[in-house]
Amino acid sequence: MPGKSKKIAAERQLFEADARPHLDTLYSMALRLTRSPVDAEDLAQDTLVRAYRFYDRFEAGTNFKAWLLRIQMNTFVNRYRRATRERQVFEGPMAVPVGEGVMSRASMRGLTDPVDDAQRRLIAREISRAFEELSDDARAIVLLADVEELSYKEIADVVGCPIGTVMSRLHRARKQLQGSLRKHAVQLGIIEEGDDDIEDPIALEAFRSRKAQKL
Amino acid sequence: MSCKLVRRHLGAFVDGELDPATQIEFERHLEACPGCQEHLSFESSLRQQTRDSIGGIHAPEHLWGRAIHRLDAIDEARMEHTPLIEVRPMRWRQTWPIAAAAAAVLIIGGVVGLPEGAEYQSAGMLQDVVNLHSQALPSDVQAETPQEVGRYFQGKTPFPVQPAKFEEPGMKFAGARYIRVGTHPAAALYYIRDGRRVTLLVFQSPGLMRNAHRTHVGGRELYYHNVGANVVTIRQHAGVNYAFFGDLDRGTLFQLTANARVAY
């Protein structure tokens, strides 16, 4: 059946053109999720196989990268996580409340304007280390937002939770990252220990309703 | 708009995720407030540093080649037997000749209709077995990797699961997934035989055996239930039920069930 083989070859070509640019993203995400290069290769590979099988279900015009990442996340959850833990982490209550942890100006400058390359490398290493200390889900969300630059909506689709959860998780993870970075930067002498103020969280909704009352 | 509020939502501001009205208010505040500007540049700069520190990982060179190799296998299978790979729900129109054949046997056997009353639960489960086969939900474990079945079900079902082995070489494993039969956690194992789908549901329910018919095929004991015009065959091993249903004639299903090695 030459018609059939032509159709299969055409679809295959399209799929490869769509998927190839995202191989690094898939692998990098898989590596962050599994923390093992061997498992990461398997996971990325299985993701591509599944994506190819269900390629006809991809909705043209939507974000193909986000679609691939969603398949990868599902594959990861199904394979590497036990059923009882599934999704629970994404939807469960936050374990520990995190303060705003706003840094002093001096700390902020110290972290973002390193004096030399050595310090720059030190900070980069500290960020990687602080990132590894985050929970699986927080790592995934930070990676999707800060590295892959997906929108909150797309992240919500990928990890399978409401947008509000993405926002609070992301905020929390970033603050954790900053807090941990600051702590280690102080230990390493990159920044000086100051009396950084810790503020209470404040809700955007509260501001909106206050504003509405004034009007 | 307070500094506190702006700083709390700077992340969403940098991500461009605020609604347009709030976005404008944030911009106005930031123009006039050097303190918040400093926070903004910190937030943006840290974002850049995070990207540099944790991004930029490249896949190993051989990975794409490995993936391509597996896509080739899918293409080959699609070329040979398109219906074998795509497990899709079967339409009732397609199933009627089989159902009619089963009905003919049924009338000869003189058993009509579903069990009632106290048997409702087990009848419901049996109906579920038939429905789950017809729905053909997508597999989580793919046909190429039957060795992953055990690991996949670990922690999902309260009993270990392995794909059943069949003496018949024509029975091909086509995938597996976690599912529920009634309220019982179950393993759905999909097979293909000559282009026809067979579903094996593995779950624990002692009630399922109540009022089951017993028979012998080739010297092996097996159980079955008539579900409407269909038949579900059951094997039991170590307190676990193995319920078979497929787009097959009754004789073939009985033969398959009797010869299956459900636990090994």
pLDDT tens digits for range A4-47: 788 888 889 999 999 999 999 999 999 988 888 988 999 999 99
Residue B107 has pLDDT above 80, yes or no: no
CB contact under 8 A, A146 and B51: yes
| CA–CA min distance A91, chain B (Å) | 19
Q: What whole-number distance in Å separates Cα of residue B72 and Cα of residue B126?
A: 39
pLDDT of residue A15: 94
Q: What mean pLDDT do residues B53-63 have?
A: 89
Torsion of Cα atoms, A39 then A122 then A131 then A141, to 10°: -100
CB contact under 8 A, B142 and A41: no
- Three-class SS of residue A79? helix
- Can you state the angle between helices A163-188 and A152-159, rounded to 10 degrees? 100
The full 3-state SS of chain B, as one line of letters, equals: CCHHHHHHCHHHHHCCCCCHHHHHHHHHHHHHCHHHHHHHHHHHHHHHHHHHHHCCCCCCHHHHHHHHHHHHHHHHHHHHCHHHHCCCCCCHHHHHHHHHHHHHHHHHHCCCCCCCHHHHHHHHHHHHHHHHHHHCCCCCECCCCHHHHHHHHECCECCCCCCCECCCCCEEEEEEEEEEECCEEEEEEEEEECCEEEEEEEECCHHHHCCCEEEEECCEEEEEEEECCEEEEEEEECCEEEEEEECCCHHHHHHHHHHCECCC
Residue B148 with chain A: CB contacts under 8 Å: 79
Which residue is closest to A178 within chain B, CA to CA? Answer: B46
Cβ under 8 Å to A: B residues 135-194: 138, 140, 142, 144, 148, 151-152, 154-156, 178
CA atoms within 13 A on the CB side of A168: 18
| CA–CA min distance A144, chain B (Å) | 10
| CA–CA min distance A202, chain B (Å) | 6
CB contact under 8 A, A27 and B60: yes
Architecture of the A2-84 domain: Orthogonal Bundle (1.10)
Question: How many inter-chain contacts (A to B, CB under 8 Å) are there?
Answer: 148
Radius of gyration, CA atoms only, chain B: 28
| Residue, of A46 and B78, whose pLDDT is higher | A46
Interface test with B, best of A134, A147, A181, A184 (most B CBs within 10 A): A147
CB contact under 8 A, A143 and B54: yes
Residue A143 with chain B: CB contacts under 8 Å: 54
Q: What whole-number distance in Å separates Cα of residue A33 and Cα of residue B204?
A: 33
Q: What mean pLDDT do residues B89-94 have?
A: 41
Architecture of the A105-194 domain: Orthogonal Bundle (1.10)
Q: What whole-number distance in Å separates Cα of residue A139 and Cα of residue A76?
A: 14
pLDDT tens digits for range A74-132: 888 877 654 434 444 444 444 444 445 556 777 777 777 666 777 778 888 888 888 88
Mean of the per-residue pLDDT values for chain B? 81
Q: Any idea where the domains of chain A sit in the sequence?
A: 2-84, 105-194
| CA–CA min distance A93, chain B (Å) | 20
Q: Which residues in A64-108 belong to E strands, given as ranges?
A: none
| CA–CA min distance A52, chain B (Å) | 7
